[in-house]
Structure 1
Amino acid sequence: MSMRLVLNSAGEVTLVRYAERLPPAVAWTMPTPFTYSLPGTATHAALAMPQQVSTTMPAPMALPLRALPVAGRSPVIVKVRSVWAHNLEEEMALIEPLLMTSFRFAAVDTEFPGTVHRPSRPAYTLTAKEKYALLKANVDELHLIQLGLTLFDSDGRLPDLGTGGAVHYVWEFNFREFDLRRHRHAPESIEFLRTKGVDFDRTRRDGVEATALGPRLRQWLRAGLGRAGVVTFSGAYDLAYLLKLLYGGGYRLPGDAAVFARVVKTTVGSTHYDVKEMARHCPCDLRGGLECVAGKLGVLRAAGVAHQAGSDSLLTCQMFTRMRERYFDDDTLTAVAGVPPC
């Protein structure tokens, strides 16, 4: 019999059969819009406070909870640390001691020059094999522009790098391989990234050599990077570009999607959580892109702007943490783990 997760009036998520009669619906009192605060802060603790309910709704609904504001408290400050060739060693030296601490999760996001190989018919009509063939053709030919990396613990806390919790940090690596004048790209994607602040002249001039980061990234993975889980949002392309970074610019993806999934698991790590896939298992409508799903969850971007890799990896972390707190226990979370489809 079909099962689904349901949020009850006690704020608990339970697994019920479709055939069962559900209890009366609850209407959550919705205070002021949510401002992101990291777990462990007073604002975050307000999520655990009992909410006022009424049982006047005629049918069950899963409405987003909102964090209660705390008077006199400032929101936690999060900063994106931009990594270039000149500060690569300095930033890697900050990251490496964190790998064996409590920051066992890693959210990743990539920015790349769009797609140049596109389907000849609507995407929804493509088979899984055809979708993977397009992913492979694009990633094999194109170059990575940015990699966002957010390290966080099981409660969603980020590293503060000795600031005593005053400021928390995520990273954004900028790469120099992509040359706008020589390499193929989707013009509309390039113009869009420009509007979001990506400076292609600077990335070409000051960016990190992928060959300088790839071997170090392999060492980080062996040392424990993302050992509790690598988190993405609709992340098949993110993982594919991550493989290309790990193995060098001449690397070509496997010809088969199943082999690709095995390579990802053996290279990047055995546990992957994709927030878009997790949303499909939640008892409410969480369809849509990154910003849309974040809005439905009541999560606001804590730093940076959309379509910059550091900021998007942070938003992915925030969404994963919120979704995990609200809808999943350890067993149900394990059930949705896996390499996302293309």
Structure 2
Amino acid sequence: MQATEEIPCLPYPPVQFIIPLYPMTHWLAVPYFPMPDPDPVPVPGIIYPVWKSNLDAEFKRISNLISPGGCWFASIDTEFPGTIYASDKGRLHDPQYNYKMMKDNVNDTNIIQLGLTLADLDRNIYTWEFNLSDFDIDHDPHQNKGSVEFLKGQGIDFRRNKEDGIPSPVFAEKLLSSGLVEHRSGVELVWVGFQCSYDFGFFTKILTGQKLPDDIENFRTDMRYYFGPRVYDVRYIMSFFPSLYGGLEKVAETLGIARVAGKSHQAGSDSLLTYLTFIKLMDMCRNSGIEKSCRGVLYSLSRI
């Protein structure tokens, strides 16, 4: 789906565009962020599972990484107990309608996992899988039984999440003090997801401690406040490549990208695969202007 509105993108200060990869290049031809070297490097397959018992230790690790000159990229994925309100397929090109469906589903369900992958320009990659305690498989009235059974098959232990997982308010407190969001670290990260309106919806719901707003414009305001303008949706980027289609697994396979750790529909593993897919696509479209066209656009919701 193409964006339905145009919001001017002002250039960043020259230091963000004059980088060794693009000497003597006009800023309009340069990506909106420095890119890692295109040469492939080994990708570590370590995913750190995070529970309430090791939450403090892992956020110390994250805070040490999020500093000026540190990580540039943050990729996310979430797992939740499925959608409980079905969409009208005839209205899927309407951002207002898509937002309402996402909002209603996010507000009435509870997140299970949030995956986070951080990476720097040297392609040092770190992945965490945060296990939340909000969802109660035995008593939560809002769950899609088919989705829950599928996630069981992917290895998610719902009862352990409930007993040993992280309460969302505690997770939000750690996020807000870590430097990841609100630009508190002095580094404006490039945020990445795959068909990620629900992912950022749950993330925003956690950070605010409130249900998502009724108005899409208020949601866009929250997005810009917490994540800044440099948000990219791989599903939207795919629209510039006619040969790419399908879900994350299919796209990665088409691009020759292997899942190096975990399983599909585990949030940590999917956040890592999303990052690798994003970097591959950006390598394929250097200096094409696609970065500018895709900046701040969530697939199905238009520009944030």
Bigger shift: residues 135-144 or 198-207: 135-144
Deviates more, 1:298-307 or 1:331-340: 331-340
2:7 aligned partner: none
The equivalent residue for 2:255 is 297
The question of 1:193 aligning with 2:151 is answered: yes
Q: Name the structure 2 match of 1:337.
A: 295
Query: In the TM superposition, what whole-angstrom CA distance separates every residue of 1:134-168 from its partner, at most 9, and x where no partner exists?
Result: 1111111111110000001235431xxxxxxxxxx
Please say if residues 40 and 157 of structure 1, whose CA atoms lie closer than 8 Å, have aligned partners that are also in contact: no
Q: Provide closer, same or farther for how the CA distance between residues 225 and 151 of structure 1 changes in structure 2, counting only shifts above 3 A.
A: farther
Superposition pairs for residues 252-267 of structure 1, below 5 Å? 252-267=211-226
- In the superposition, relative to structure 1, how do residues 225 and 253 fare at CA in structure 2: closer, same or farther (>3 Å)? farther
Please state how far the C-alpha of 1:332 moved relative to its aligned partner.
3.0
Task: Flag the 1:208–1:330 CA change in 2: closer, same or farther, 3 A.
Answer: farther
User: Are 2:72 and 1:104 aligned?
Assistant: yes
CA offset at residue 279 of structure 1? 1.1
Q: Which of 211, 224, 228 lines up with 1:269 in the alignment?
A: 228
Q: 1:89 aligns with which of 38, 50, 56?
A: 56
Q: How far apart in 2 are the matches of 1:103 and 1:297?
A: 24
**Quick check: 1:277–1:336 contact (8 Å CA) kept in 2?**
yes
Kept in 2, the 8 Å contact 1:261–1:339? The answer is no
> What amino acid is aligned across from residue 79 of structure 1 in structure 2?
I
Separation of aligned partners in 1, 2:265 and 2:274: 12
Which region of structure 1 is more displaced relative to structure 2, 321-330 or 82-91? 321-330
**Cα distance in 2 for residues equivalent to 1:153 and 1:91:** 18
Conserved in 2, the CA contact under 8 Å of 1:105 and 1:225?
A: no
Q: How does 1:118-197 map to 2 (within 5 A)?
A: 118-119=86-87, 121-122=88-89, 127-154=94-121, 156-158=123-125, 169-183=126-140, 184-197=142-155
Can you list the C-alpha shifts for 1:170-221, whole angstroms capped at 9, x where unaligned? Answer: 1000000110112110000000100100000100000011111102212321
- TM-score normalised per structure 1: 0.71
User: RMSD between aligned alpha carbons?
Assistant: 2.1
TM-score by length of 2: 0.80
Looking at structure 2, the residues matched to 177 and 92 of structure 1 have their Cα atoms a distance apart, in angstroms, of 20
User: Which residue identity is paired with 2:215?
Assistant: D
Tell me which structure has the larger Cα radius of gyration: 1
Find the aligned partners of 1:242 and 1:98 in 2 and give their Cα distance: 20
Residue 132 of structure 2 contacts residue 166 of structure 2 at CA under 8 Å; is this kept in 1? yes
CA contact (8 A) 2:236 2:297 kept: no
Aligned match for 1:233, one of 187, 191, 194: 194
Indicate the SS of the match to 2:217.
helix
Give the direction of change, closer, same or farther, for the CA distance of 1:98–1:330 in structure 2 (3 Å limit).
farther
Deviation at 1:254, TM superposition (A): 1.6
In the superposition, relative to structure 1, how do residues 330 and 242 fare at CA in structure 2: closer, same or farther (>3 Å)?
farther
CA offset digits 1:230-260 (Å, max 9, x no partner): 0000000000000011112xx1212122331
Task: Tell me how far apart the structure 2 counterparts of residues 225 and 196 of structure 1 sit (CA, whole Å).
Answer: 37
Where does the alignment leave 5 or more consecutive residues of structure 2 unmatched?
1-35
- What is the aligned residue count? 260
Q: Aligned equivalents of 2:176 and 2:154: distance in 1?
A: 30
Rounded Cα–Cα distance in structure 2 between residues aligned with 1:138 and 1:123: 18
Looking at structure 2, the residues matched to 44 and 195 of structure 1 have their Cα atoms a distance apart, in angstroms, of 33
Question: How far apart are the structure 1 equivalents of 2:257 and 2:64?
Answer: 29
Instruction: Tell me the secondary structure at the aligned position of residue 240 of structure 2.
Output: coil
Q: Which SS does the other structure have where 1:280 is aligned?
A: helix
Name the structure, 1 or 2, with higher relative contact order (CA <8 Å, separation 6+). Answer: 2
Shift of 1:224: 3.6
8 Å contact from structure 1 (residues 156, 318) kept in 2: no
Matched, 1:210 2:210: no
Cα distance in 2, alignment partners of residues 330 and 157 from structure 1: 26
Counting aligned pairs with the same residue, the percent is 35
CA distance in 1 between partners of 2:110 and 2:186 (Å): 23
Amino acid at match of 1:199: D
Q: Does 1:77 align with 2:44?
A: yes
Distance 2:262 2:219 in 1: 32
Is 1:313 the counterpart of 2:280? The answer is no
- CA offset digits 1:40-87 (Å, max 9, x no partner): 79x727xxxxxxxxxxxxxxxxxxxxxxxxxxxxx5432100000111
> 1:270/1:76 Cα in 2 relative to 1: closer, same or farther (>3 Å)?
closer
CA distance in 2, matches of 1:339, 1:246: 21
Residue 10 of structure 1 corresponds to none
